[in-house]
Amino acid sequence: MEALSDRELESIVARFFVAENARDWRAYATFLHPQVEWTLIDGSRERKIVGKERYLHAIKSAYANSATTFRCVEAMSDRERRLIATMLVNDDGERSLDVFVIEDGLIRREWEFLLGRA
């Protein structure tokens, strides 16, 4: 499998974020690998969500009745490992460090570290 360029990795995640902020769940789903794994880490608590449908259910529930959006303030990639790390800040000033593994052009794994307000 040929490694994606840093620009291609960043483009995948940037478009994923656009779909999330727009709550365009149909477009959002196209970025997820069928066996996607999403691990949320909030201090000592950890929650793992496995599978595309469970992921979609969890993200829709998280945004229910919320207009909050976020922006990516920094992105770093490692094309050899198909990895991209992003620092996100939402409208309320809450931060998260999100690390993605891209497989076959899709998000295969995500670790989301909830960091609170700066």
For 27-61, the pLDDT digits (tens) are: 999 999 999 999 999 999 999 999 999 999 999 99
For residues 71 and 30, give the distance between their C-alpha atoms in angstroms, rounded to a whole number: 20
Query: What is the per-residue pLDDT across 87-112, written as a single tens digit (0 to 9) for each?
Result: 999 999 999 999 999 999 999 999 99
Q: Phi-psi region for residue 83, left (φ > 0), alpha (ψ -120 to 50) or beta?
A: beta
Q: Where in the chain are the domains? A: 6-117
CA dihedral 102, 107, 108, 110 (to 10 degrees): 100
pLDDT at 2: 63
What is the pTM for the complete model shown? Answer: 0.93
Please provide the CATH number assigned to the domain covering 6-117: 3.10.450.50
